[in-house]
Amino acid sequence: MTRTVAVIGAGPAGLMAAEVMQSHGAQVHVFDAMPSAGRKFLLAGIGGLNLTHSEAMPGFLARYAARAPALRPLLDAFGPDAVRAWAQSLGVKTFVGSSGRVFPTDMKAAPLLRAWLHRLRAGGDGRPPVQFHMRHRWLGWADDGAALRFANAEGEHVFAADAAVLALGGASWPRLGSDGAWVPLLQARGVDIAPLRPSNCGFDVAPTGPDRGGWSAHLRERFAGEPVKPVAITATDSAGVEHRQQGEFVVTETGIEGSLVYAFSAGLRDAIAARGRATLTLDLLPQHTPEQVRAETRHPRGTRSLATHLKSRLHLHGVKTALLHELLSPAQLNDPDALAGFIKALPLTLAAPRPIAEAISSAGGVRFEALSAGLMATAVPGLFVAGEMLDWEAPTGGYLLTACLATGRAAGQGVIDGWNAA
């Protein structure tokens, strides 16, 4: 007898769960609040879809920090190589970029999503076509605690299924569909959830002077939107270990954002939550040694301005010089040795992470301790959970999509295994 399963959330996690269950002959119904599937996945393709990462498994797993042990079996079953093979099975070849990140050869998400949806809808070879129900917002459960409640243009209705997979995403970029509205619904059913927090996010700087809120008007008006590159950030994580990484970030109206900041964002966010502030240090000339910088700041500058001197001797100008003026006192700027020290290690204090709606991803979510090995909520038998709504986080670099696909696969397999065991 064909069993019916509801997948709620047509992002990468939900679609992967649907694919696994379809391949076992289940009749899969995918519901999503948005008019079309995979909106965030498509957005991820705008800047180049970073599907996964080529680094060896121990390093790859370590990106999931405290949640590496929980994700390990799932990533062993469906890791970076499996992600690439899966893309290839949809006619999308991938390549390893210079940073080790893996992208489709055309960098885009749309052809991959189109081929995937086509394969799911078509079915065949014992795979029933997946039925899609867009513009269906999940509202929770009917009074029997089992049937699923949805709202669509016609009103409210219920859907009864033999099992359900929730893949509702986190709470970043809510206009793409994931708004975290599921949190109270699951809490009411006794599912343990870590609070959703911004991950891979920007930060507001602490006021840079006694009479200022965040950046000065000068820095904000002249340099918001400017990239700072190359630059290295050094920051200490919650275990007290110092990390340094080189890259680039962008000065925003209120602080900083960009790939290099995201790499440090989990530790900085947690430090701010614990102590109200977090400080990182910027190396504005990462390719120069401290001695080289000191030799140039000591060089007599005659009648030239400091800005002209730094530009001609160290190629330090624009937003980097503006940051020095923003964060240092006149005495520090005019002391050649102190200035050299700050060029190599300029402290920048952060006051708050930017709101979760602006973040690339979410931390927090359904705790693994509330789930079986097959990702079923132990408090709600027959309800499985996958993707970013689970309590893990990782930096950008393809780690997010890989874990979404791996947990989607595990949840789909969990449904099938549960049925087979019954």
Ligand X SMILES: Cc1cc2nc3c(=O)[nH]c(=O)nc-3n(C[C@H](O)[C@H](O)[C@H](O)COP(=O)(O)OP(=O)(O)OC[C@H]3O[C@@H](n4cnc5c(N)ncnc54)[C@H](O)[C@@H]3O)c2cc1C
> In the bound complex, what is the minimum distance in angstroms from residue 234's beta carbon to ligand X?
25
| Of residues 214 and 414, the one with the C-beta less far from ligand X | 414
Number of residues that make up the chain: 422
> In the bound complex, what is the minimum distance in angstroms from residue 223's beta carbon to ligand X?
23
| Of residues 145 and 302, the one with the C-beta less far from ligand X | 145
What are phi and psi for residue 104, nearest 5 degrees? -60, 150
Q: State the distance between the two ends of the chain, measured CA to CA, in whole angstroms.
A: 14
| Of residues 12 and 364, the one with the C-beta less far from ligand X | 12
> In the bound complex, what is the minimum distance in angstroms from residue 40's beta carbon to ligand X?
4
| Of residues 159 and 223, the one with the C-beta less far from ligand X | 159
> In the bound complex, what is the minimum distance in angstroms from residue 30's beta carbon to ligand X?
10
Give the up-direction half-sphere exposure of residue 379: CA atoms within 13 A in the CB hemisphere: 15
| Of residues 271 and 383, the one with the C-beta less far from ligand X | 383
| Of residues 107 and 306, the one with the C-beta less far from ligand X | 107
Q: Which residue has the tokens 């870590």?
A: 194
Amino acid, res. 6: A
> In the bound complex, what is the minimum distance in angstroms from residue 167's beta carbon to ligand X?
5
Q: Which residue has the tokens 């973040």?
A: 359
| Of residues 10 and 231, the one with the C-beta less far from ligand X | 10
Amino acid, res. 118: H
| Of residues 8 and 346, the one with the C-beta less far from ligand X | 8
Instruction: Find out whether 366 and 391 touch, Cβ atoms under 8 Å.
Output: yes
Q: CB atoms < 10 A from the CB of 233, how many?
A: 23
> In the bound complex, what is the minimum distance in angstroms from residue 365's beta carbon to ligand X?
9
Q: 78: closest CA among 63, 101, 60?
A: 60
| Of residues 41 and 249, the one with the C-beta less far from ligand X | 41
| Of residues 314 and 359, the one with the C-beta less far from ligand X | 359
What are phi and psi for residue 303, nearest 5 degrees? -95, 0
Q: Which residue has the tokens 């599921």?
A: 182
Strands of 163-166's sheet, edge to edge?
A: 131-133, 27-31, 4-8, 163-166, 383-385
Rounded to whole angstroms, how far apart are CA atoms 2 and 129? 12
Q: 389: closest CA among 408, 415, 409?
A: 408
> In the bound complex, what is the minimum distance in angstroms from residue 22's beta carbon to ligand X?
17
> In the bound complex, what is the minimum distance in angstroms from residue 36's beta carbon to ligand X?
9
> In the bound complex, what is the minimum distance in angstroms from residue 10's beta carbon to ligand X?
5
Instruction: Find out whether 128 and 23 touch, Cβ atoms under 8 Å.
Output: no
Structure tokens at 139: 């509202």
Please tell me what DSSP assigns to residue 298. H
Give the up-direction half-sphere exposure of residue 384: CA atoms within 13 A in the CB hemisphere: 31
> In the bound complex, what is the minimum distance in angstroms from residue 114's beta carbon to ligand X?
16
The string of DSSP letters for 54-97 reads -S-HHHHHHTTGGGHHHHHHHHHHS-HHHHHHHHHHTT--EEE-
Residue numbers of the site for ligand X (CB under 6 A)? 8-14, 31-34, 39-41, 43-44, 49-50, 137-138, 167-169, 172-173, 177-178, 181-182, 360-361, 387-388, 398, 400-401, 404
Instruction: Find out whether 147 and 160 touch, Cβ atoms under 8 Å.
Output: yes
